[in-house]
Amino acid sequence: MIAKPYIVVTSISAPNAALRMFAEGGGEHGFGFIVVGDKKSPPEFTLDGCEYFSMERQLETGFGLAKICPANHYVRKNIGYLLAIRQGASVIRDTDDDNFPRAEFWPVHDRVQDVAVSAGRGWTNAYAWFSDAPIWPRGLPLDAVRDVPAPLEALPRERADCPIQQGLADENPDVDAIYRLLYPLPQSFRADRRVALGEGSWCPFNSQNTTWFPDAYPLLYLPATCTFRMTDIWRSFVAQRIAWANGWSIMFHEATVWQERNEHDLMKDFADEVPGYLNNRAICRELDGLDLPAGTENLGSNLRRCYEALVGQGWLGPQELALLDAWLTDLSELTA
């Protein structure tokens, strides 16, 4: 089997313009493309260049997680990650069905980057390095949105190991409902800079345009017992904390997609984001206080330790640990 990069999407849409662009571009650039369906997906889904997994086909994968993963839920994307890993993905590109790839989307950046590094600076609005507009990423605590990070030129430039890389999205970027209710869109970002966030510089990242290298695959797990608007955000906090234990950084880079956002009820989005507004600082304090050993062999146990802490504090439901255990079991069988 020749390893190749994979794109993973979950969708309840029929093949749309964005999915067709991923399928066509993926074929031209040597990407595999997996789309994970759900109960609300159309009964027929045919798209050349795409492997589509209906609910029935997901159950046929043999993954324990497929049997217990909630239906009508974004976290069915976890099954897509497992499928890409099973097929030997050299990297996994995590995105959504309302993002459109530019030419710059297709090259896979080096994992190790010579880049400006922010470390030890607390809550950090990474978007502020890419735009002069008052804009912040979904999941940043509201009392941090006006904080201005150190100028990029003032940050040390280092070789940073970045097995998780967050690409931005132009036009309708990933911002919270408060931003969408108060500020104008579209917005676009500078394309001439990159920055890595090292230990102690917290910034949420999403599942919209994110590249994961194999060492970080266990950290792809999306939690199910939080709101839809927090699943990828709380995943990002867990992933950052475990990454730092291994000396890894999270790189933010220029937009390589633009988004034409699917229809949303902004007030429902707001309600789904309230748990983050209220708890994100406390969640990261809890994660900061954990003793997590270094080493890729400890990623699974560290992941469980983090989620045990989130469940123990009531931020996630107790059933989360059964889902996580199924993920870890499936993953261990794939990598044995």
Residues 103 and 157 in one domain: no
Instruction: Identify the band that residue 13 occupies on the pLDDT scale cut at 50, 70 and 90.
Output: very high
The predicted pLDDT at position 263 comes to 83
Single out the residue in 81, 108, 135 at which a domain terminates: 108
The 10 Å CB-count burial string (b at 16+, else e) for 200-227 is: ebbbbbbbbbbbbbbbbbbbbbbbbbbb
Are residues 99 and 216 both part of a single domain? Answer: no
Structure confidence at residue 36 (pLDDT): 97
Q: Which two tokens stand for residue 252?
A: 């933010």
Task: Read off the pLDDT band of 262 (50, 70, 90).
Answer: confident
DSSP state string for 279-302: HHHHHHHHHHTS----SGGGHHHH
Do 136 and 76 share a structural domain? Answer: no
Residue 1: is its pLDDT beyond 80? no
For residue 97, give its domain range: 1-108
- Under the banding of pLDDT at 50, 70 and 90, the label for residue 264 is confident
Which residues, 6+ apart, have CB-to-CB distance to 307 below 8 Å?
223, 238, 316, 320, 321, 324
Residue where a domain stops, chosen among 76, 108, 140:
108
Task: Give the residue from 108, 130, 165 where a domain finishes.
Answer: 108
Residues 174 and 260 in one domain: yes
Number of domains in the chain: 2
Same structural domain, 263 and 332: yes
Average pLDDT, the chain: 96
Residues 211 and 322 occupy one common structural domain? yes
> What residues form DSSP beta bridges with 117?
196
Residues 215 and 166 both lie in one domain? yes
- Per-residue pLDDT tens over the stretch 295-311: 999 999 999 999 999 99
Q: Is the pLDDT of residue 133 over 70?
A: yes
Q: What per-residue confidence (pLDDT) applies to 166? A: 98
pLDDT in tens, 191-248: 999 999 999 999 999 999 999 999 999 999 999 999 999 999 999 999 999 999 999 9
Shared domain for 101 and 219, answered yes or no, is no
Residue 279 has pLDDT above 80, yes or no: yes
Provide the pLDDT for residue 261. 87
For residues 164 and 28, state if they share a domain.
Answer: no
- 290 and 228 assigned to the same domain: yes
Residue whose pair of structure tokens reads 């345009």 in the numeric block: 209
